[in-house]
């Protein structure tokens, strides 16, 4: 079986379809091709977002003007946030790896609604293009910050409607993907694969898809209301007309906080795939991890107001939301302890994906613990809207989700492209990223603690040393990421052919050739074991 990939078969890149050339991609309904189209577009947006981030850090090298004006800086942090959040991190893992791997991991030939899947990519692209277009239209680029807080977003002269429309359309894309995944998981599992025999990545996609379905409509309606507020003076959020801007914040965070779990849950799922493979033993506490995904999705829906502790909500609600926020730490902790317990007494191979997981555990723990600092009412009053918050969510989102995005990229790369990258170079990029990342963001914790507010273009001279360290860190980090990407592209172009199962993984995607044939499985497999079965007794 291990050598079956040498037998003749046609992989999905070379299969004859209805269309040829570029149309065979643009009109495809193959979940694998759609996943790869997402990957190309998303990488492009990520590079744009990254460039903006680097330019912002250069601007912060000196107090006052370094390279751009204050207004340009406002537009830059807004777009950096918009692009990174709506175009990269939220759809990141589900749209790329979810699309590619979900049907493979549950032993299906495609998702439940292949054409809707393609439609969702087109919505994604439309949203992305709108966001970029808004840069060049009348009024100039949006400067409200990615949170679109009212009343500024209905007063500013910059063009707010187009980026809002972009976010709305992206929400549509996200909802369609969510509906597709939930239906696929319910209807298309291979025979014998009960819910508790699904790989944990699938579990995390399931929890994520539910959040996408339940939370996204709320941002949809909020965006529509802001647009009509700007167009027709509806008064619904405008304090001058009797509206309440706090209600905007509530609605905004009712979506945008669960969205944080849309970002992190699939990453946690990918971690639960990588660890058993590289520890060569079954995952510890399978059910606990599966349920904790659902628990995070559930509790995550009731913590939104912790973004509003200083906005003027009542003492009672602050107390309750602070308490609920602390509760999220429990299922997150359950996951981390189970991962560590899986590694214990495993026969560990330090492969590149596992090293990214180690990086994730370290950085995400710092992000998670500083989250508790922000979740406490007293410390929040001091740290709210400072660089401490910026550092916290970069540790969680970048150190958490994006590191696992990179890890998953290295884990599934051989399967997706049928090629291997240079593992030695890949390993060397990790310390570079580690050093750059911590220089860039750890300094921000200190800056924030000392009182540097976020989103400011100018600062007092006493903050300069830390800003300089941070900026230099951003250069090191970007160097690491570029080396990593170049290494992957080189692997793609001239890497050796990848075997069917390079890491010794046990989930179903490793039982088909690399890259997989169009319909994935010649025969739909029958499942008799849990997903990470390395022999011996199984947990019931």
Partner 1 sequence: MSDYLSGNNPGSVQSEHEEHVHRDDMSSKIGMWLFLLTEVLLFGGLFLLYMAYRVKYTGNFHDAALELNMKIGTFNTLILITSSLTMALSIAAMQRARKGLSIFLLVSTQALGIFFLINKFFEWSAKFHHGLYPGSETLLNRPKGEYIFFGMYYAMTGLHALHVIAGLTLLTFMLVFIIRNKVNPDNYIRLENSGLYWHLVDLIWIFLFPLFYLMR
Which CB sits closer to partner 1, 57 or 197? 197
Q: How far is the CB of 364 from partner 1 (least distance, A)?
A: 30
Q: How far is the CB of 464 from partner 1 (least distance, A)?
A: 44
Query: Is there a contact between 116 and 176 (Cβ–Cβ < 8 Å)?
Result: yes
Distance between CA atoms of residues 489 and 282, nearest Å: 32
Query: Is there a contact between 415 and 201 (Cβ–Cβ < 8 Å)?
Result: no
Site membership for partner 1, residue 247 (CB under 8 A): yes
Question: Which one among 58, 68, 236, 446 touches partner 1, defined by CB under 8 A?
Answer: 236
Site membership for partner 1, residue 232 (CB under 8 A): yes
Long-range Cβ contacts of 183-186 (<8 Å, 24+ apart): 183/112, 183/113, 184/102, 184/103, 184/106, 184/108, 184/111, 184/112, 185/102, 185/106, 185/209
Site membership for partner 1, residue 340 (CB under 8 A): no
Query: Is there a contact between 285 and 203 (Cβ–Cβ < 8 Å)?
Result: no
Subset of 168-227 contacting partner 1 (CB under 8 A): 175, 178-180, 182-183, 186-197, 213-214, 216-218, 220-222, 224-225
DSSP state of 461: G
Site membership for partner 1, residue 307 (CB under 8 A): no
Closest CA to 52 of 80, 81, 85, 88: 80
Which CB sits closer to partner 1, 493 or 540? 540
Which CB sits closer to partner 1, 120 or 386? 120
Subset of 458-497 contacting partner 1 (CB under 8 A): none
Distance between CA atoms of residues 61 and 517, nearest Å: 51
Site membership for partner 1, residue 242 (CB under 8 A): yes
Closest CA to 227 of 295, 164, 317, 137: 164
Q: How far is the CB of 299 from partner 1 (least distance, A)?
A: 18
Distance between CA atoms of residues 182 and 184, nearest Å: 5
Total residues in contact with partner 1, by rule CB under 8 A: 50
Report helix angle 352-375 to 315-343, nearest 10.
Answer: 160
Q: How far is the CB of 175 from partner 1 (least distance, A)?
A: 5
Which CB sits closer to partner 1, 47 or 116? 116
Distance between CA atoms of residues 245 and 478, nearest Å: 38
Site membership for partner 1, residue 251 (CB under 8 A): yes
Which CB sits closer to partner 1, 258 or 418? 258
Distance between CA atoms of residues 443 and 463, nearest Å: 10
Which CB sits closer to partner 1, 235 or 431? 235
Closest CA to 205 of 350, 96, 80: 96
Identify the burial level of 213 via C-beta atoms within 10 angstroms of its C-beta, where 0-12 means exposed, 13-18 middle and 19 or more buried: middle
Which CB sits closer to partner 1, 231 or 369? 231
Subset of 113-172 contacting partner 1 (CB under 8 A): 113, 116
Closest CA to 268 of 410, 369, 81, 396: 396
Q: How far is the CB of 256 from partner 1 (least distance, A)?
A: 13
Site membership for partner 1, residue 333 (CB under 8 A): no
Residues engaged in binding partner 1 (CB under 8 A): 109, 112-113, 116, 175, 178-180, 182-183, 186-197, 213-214, 216-218, 220-222, 224-225, 228, 232-236, 241-244, 247, 251, 254, 524, 526-529
């Amino acid at each position: 079986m291990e050598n079956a990939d040498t037998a003749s078969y046609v992989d999905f890149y070379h299969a004859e379809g209805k269309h040829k050339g570029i149309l065979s991609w643009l009109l495809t309904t193959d979940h694998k091709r759609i996943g790869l189209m997402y990957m190309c577009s998303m990488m492009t947006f990520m590079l744009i977002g990254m460039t903006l981030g680097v330019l912002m850090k250069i601007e912060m090298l000196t107090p006052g003007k370094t390279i751009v004006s204050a207004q340009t800086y406002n537009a830059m942090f807004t777009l950096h946030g918009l692009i990174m959040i709506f175009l990269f991190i939220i759809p990141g893992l589900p749209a790329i790896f979810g699309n590619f791997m979900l049907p493979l991991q549950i032993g299906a030939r495609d998702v439940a609604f292949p054409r809707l899947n393609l439609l969702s990519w087109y919505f994604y692209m439309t949203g992305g293009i709108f966001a970029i277009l808004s840069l060049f239209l009348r009024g100039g680029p949006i400067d409200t910050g990615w949170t679109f807080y009212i009343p500024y977003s209905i007063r500013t002269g910059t063009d707010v409607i187009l980026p809002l429309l972009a976010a709305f359309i992206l929400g549509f894309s996200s909802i369609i993907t969510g509906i597709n995944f939930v239906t696929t998981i319910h209807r298309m599992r291979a025979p014998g694969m009960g819910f508790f025999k699904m790989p944990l990545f699938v579990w995390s996609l399931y929890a994520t898809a539910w959040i996408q379905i339940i939370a996204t409509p709320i941002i949809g309606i909020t965006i529509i209301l802001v647009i009509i507020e700007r167009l027709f003076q509806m008064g619904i959020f405008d304090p001058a007309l009797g509206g309440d801007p706090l209600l905007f914040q509530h609605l905004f965070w009712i979506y945008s906080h669960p969205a944080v779990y849309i970002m992190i849950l699939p990453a946690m799922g990918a971690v639960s795939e990588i660890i058993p493979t590289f520890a060569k033993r079954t995952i510890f506490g399978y059910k606990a991890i599966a349920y904790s995904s659902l628990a995070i999705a559930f509790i995550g829906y009731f913590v939104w107001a912790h973004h509003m502790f200083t906005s003027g909500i009542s003492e009672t609600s602050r107390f309750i939301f602070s308490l609920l926020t602390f509760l999220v730490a429990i299922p997150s902790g359950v996951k981390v302890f189970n991962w560590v317990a899986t590694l214990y007494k495993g026969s560990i191979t330090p492969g590149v994906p596992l090293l990214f997981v180690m990086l994730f555990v370290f950085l995400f723990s710092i992000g998670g613990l500083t989250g508790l600092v922000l979740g406490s009412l007293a410390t929040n009053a001091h740290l709210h809207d400072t660089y401490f918050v910026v550092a916290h969510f970069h540790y969680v989102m970048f150190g958490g989700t994006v590191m696992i995005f990179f890890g998953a990229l290295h884990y599934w790369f051989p399967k997706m492209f049928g090629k291997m990258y240079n593992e030695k170079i890949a390993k060397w990029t990790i310390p570079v990223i580690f050093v750059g990342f911590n220089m860039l963001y750890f300094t921000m914790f200190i800056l924030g603690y000392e009182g540097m507010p976020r989103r400011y273009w100018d600062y007092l001279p006493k903050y300069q040393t830390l800003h300089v360290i941070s900026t230099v860190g951003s250069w090191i980090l970007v160097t690491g990421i570029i080396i990593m990407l170049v290494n992957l592209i080189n692997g793609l172009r001239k890497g050796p052919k990848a075997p069917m199962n390079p890491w010794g993984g046990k989930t179903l995607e490793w039982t088909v050739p690399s890259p997989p044939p169009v319909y994935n499985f010649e025969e739909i497999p029958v499942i008799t074991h849990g997903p990470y079965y390395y022999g011996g007794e199984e947990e019931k």
